[in-house]
Chain A
Amino acid sequence: AQSVTQPDIHITVSEGASLELRCNYSYGATPYLFWYVQSPGQGLQLLLKYFSGDTLVQGIKGFEAEFKRSQSSFNLRKPSVHWSDAAEYFCAVAEVGTYKYIFGTGTRLKVLA
């Protein structure tokens, strides 16, 4: 069965430090890949997406993600974290050609001043 794993439930970083959030998926073929962010009391907002082509994708708010087929991973990165980045981050996977859409369990990011 398809699955999405976000191994880190919580991550704490200092403001200005770099960030990497991990996402691994289990799928038969290359899926569509997404990262979303959820601020407290809000709905989810799309950060970036990968459908095909260049495996390094740029998103909003200075985030980027790299698709690595060999590792079935789609890790999210940011070179310098801001206090406003504190939120819950979700990786999601959609099976190409079907309607299946699966979210990971989320990673809560805390930013220290």
Chain B
Amino acid sequence: DTAVSQTPKYLVTQMGNDKSIKCEQNLGHDTMYWYKQDSKKFLKIMFSYNNKELIINETVPNRFSPKSPDKAHLNLHINSLELGDSAVYFCASSPQPGYEQFFGPGTRLTVL
């Protein structure tokens, strides 16, 4: 059973398109995160939800919008994709904010 799953694993799309990435965790955790990892492996936190409430909203373009329909799901929608959005996006969950995190396998987004 996969603890944290993401779909799709790969996403190739044209500039200007809108796309979504889905994340689900079956660990019963209260907190979920979205990270962006660039080509140099730098991990940048984008958003975090705790019990479906947004608790971290870092400086990211407002083209990025998270949505948490319930505690087990955190989706990421990206409007008007740009070349610089190409990266690997990771979803993670933790029992509580600030505790150890469990990561999904990542979604490699390529914008052409």
In the complex, which residues 99-113 of chain A have their Cβ closer than 8 Å to any Cβ of chain B? 99-103, 105-106, 108
A95 part of interface (Cβ distance < 8 Å): yes
B102 in the interface (beta carbon within 8 A): yes
Looking at the complex, which of B11-19, B61-69, B70-78, B92-100 is the stretch in contact with chain A? B92-100
Measured between beta carbons, the chain B residues less than 8 angstroms from A96 are 98
Whether B98 pairs with A42 at a CB distance below 8 angstroms is no
Of A15-23, A43-51, A61-69, A72-80, the segment with at least 4 beta carbons within 8 Å of chain B is A43-51
Question: In chain B, what residue has the closest Cβ to A34?
Answer: B100
B103 touches A43 (CB 8 A): yes
Question: How many residues on A have C-beta within 8 angstroms of the other chain's C-beta atoms?
Answer: 27
Contacts A99-B55, A99-B56 given; indicate if A46 touches B43 (C-beta within 8 A).
no
Q: Is the CB of A106 within 8 A of B42?
A: yes
When distances are taken between beta carbons in the complex, the residues of chain A under 8 Å from B42 are: 105-106
Provided the pairs A99-B56, A101-B45 are in contact, do residues A43 and B98 lie with their beta carbons within 8 angstroms? no
Interface positions, chain A 10-68, Cβ under 8 Å from B, are: 32, 34, 36, 38, 41-46, 49
**A84 touches B (CB below 8 Å):** no
Query: What's the Cα separation between A45 and B40 when bound, in Å?
Result: 18
Using A90-B43, A99-B56, A106-B42 as known contacts, say yes or no to A44 and B101 having CB atoms under 8 A apart. Answer: yes
**Residue A44 contacts which of B45, B90, B97 (CB distance < 8 angstroms)?**
B90
| B side interface size, CB within 8 A | 23
B43 to chain A minimum Cβ distance, whole angstroms, is: 4
In the assembled complex, 25 residue pairs joining A and B whose CB atoms fall closer than 8 Å, in A order, are A34-B101, A36-B101, A38-B41, A42-B106, A43-B104, A44-B43, A44-B103, A45-B103, A46-B102, A90-B43, A94-B99, A95-B98, A96-B98, A98-B97, A98-B98, A99-B48, A99-B55, A99-B56, A101-B33, A101-B45, A101-B97, A103-B43, A105-B40, A105-B42, A106-B41
Contacts of A49 in B (CB 8 A): 100
Interface contact A99-B97, CB-CB below 8 Å:
yes
Bound CA–CA A111/B48 (angstroms): 35
Cα distance, A44 to B94, chains bound together (Å) = 13
